[in-house]
Amino acid sequence: QVQLVESGGGLVEAGGSMRLSCAASGRTFSRYAMAWFRQAPGNERAFVAAIRWLGSSTYVDSVKGRFTISRDNAKNTLYLQMNNLKPEDTAVYYCAGKLDTTIMLPTIQGSYDTWGQGTQVTVSS
């Protein structure tokens, strides 16, 4: 079983950049599909990006061209590089994982069975 701990959140001005990290414990991280979700106040948790163990990825349209998901399997770490941040990116960001066994890379939170505790990202206008 993998356990996940996010870090790297904070306050940034609009147009700025931030990198989130998600450290995974356990020896099976490299076999996991990983994802980032976010939850803004009053909203449901929403998909941001996901990556397979071999590195292929997918993004929600609103972050394409601005966010990059990546992973370092040797370091058991997932990343989310966020550029050109906007106030609407303000949310608690969660990393999530599941064994990479499906044909399609999941974008639904119910498909993931391992979650971190979340890290707050606040973008000021």
- Residue 103: its pLDDT value, please? 82
Contact by Cβ (8 Å): 45, 37: yes
Contact 35, 47 (CB under 8 A): yes
Q: What's the CA gap between 90 and 80, in Å, rounded?
A: 14
**Banded pLDDT at 27 (limits 50, 70, 90):** confident
What is the identity of the amino acid at 71? R
- Report how far residue 68's alpha carbon sits from residue 80's, in angstroms, rounded to the nearest whole number: 6
What 8-state DSSP symbol labels residue 106?
Answer: P
How large a percentage of the chain has pLDDT more than 70?
100
pLDDT tens, residue by residue, 88-104 = 999 999 999 999 888 88
